[in-house]
Structure 1
Amino acid sequence: MNHLRHSGLPFEAQRMVFLDIVAADPLLADTLVRVRELALPDWLVVSGALYNSVWNHLTGKPSGYGIRDVDLFYFDDSDLSYEAEDAVIRRAAAHFEGLPLPVEVRNQARVHLWYPRKFGQPCPRYASASESVSFFASKTHAVGVRYDGNGQFELVAPFGLDDLFSFRITPNRVMDNQRTHEVKGARAKANWPEISVVPW
């Protein structure tokens, strides 16, 4: 099995392969349908559940291998209180009951409020769920999927997909996220030895 068979292809070809893998993965397909039913504003399933599923498919591993949770972003700047986000998180927990993986829900309109306390550095105030993806510590991880108004998958991938299909974790130095890049890179390499981690 050539796990690098899609590396170096044009973006549109990689986009189609990526979305085909996501649509065919039973874990992701079920989760995305449930997310759409929740109807959060500007929602986006992002990060690990997506790129890990692609790596599983390309290396012959089972669906769900190496995936701890599903990250669900939404963007609602009408109420930036903790209580408003917590109400959404509790509603989502009930809605996603029975799924094999926990779904972590976060309002990207609020990240700039808690990020400095948690990580010791400022964070820009995002204007959308999609914008926040471009600030991930590794460009490889900056992927998101949602349904558009016509029920078709829409992909958010600000840095393209070639790093992902090349099993290469590349740093995104827009913020000082070296530790996150290295920790996530080491964890990924432990699960998928085919991966290379580009030093910060």
Structure 2
Amino acid sequence: MPRALHRWDLDIAEARTVQTRLAARVETHDRLGQVRAIAGVDCGFEDDGRLTRAAVVVMRWPGLDVIESTLARVPTTFPYIPGYLSFREMPAILAAFKQLETRPDLLLCDGQGIAHPRRLGIACHLGLWLDRPAVGVGKSRLVGAFEPPGEEKGSSTPLVVHDETIGAVLRTRDRVRPLFVSPGHRIGVDSAARWVLDCAIRYRLPEPVHAADRLASSKSCGRN
């Protein structure tokens, strides 16, 4: 496991300071190398939110067959506050990654990348912590303005804040609600969208994230 970037016993003001500091380190250009394994990451909660249940599913690329999956349960120590998801979920996610034998080359995270009020969504935070290319795959918009993409699979439009493109609004299935894709770390907007689309074979979510979602949500009370 890479060196810790900060401690986890933070209050809101401290967490905000960490986000601002780390956001300056996020790389939004392609630096991937060869991709042989892609990890999907998601969380659920048990015991009325007191226990975080993190799932990581690693799939081979190409082919998207499962190489391995891990699940970790960790007591939840940070409250649910929009914009601070990573402080609530990442301790469990890191515990799940610690169990992996495979080192993934790309992370697809259920949540935001730079499409975040302080440009540090969970995909950025995790990508920096693990020093891995990462993509945020949001099921809903957190920030930004956009025009709806076309109804066919593969249609996309820019997600924009103050004339800056921070992501793509991407249709991964015909006539199904789009995803909000944004760079997490070591990847650009266009590449992030292309990887999500290439991995979206059967479902709205890309296969690794869909598999992680199913593992994280089974026998849990779901995400807060």
For normalisation by structure 1, the TM-score amounts to: 0.29
Q: Which has the higher strand share?
A: 2
Q: Which has the higher helix share?
A: 1
Larger RCO: 1 or 2 (CA < 8 Å, sep 6+): 2
For normalisation by structure 2, the TM-score amounts to: 0.27
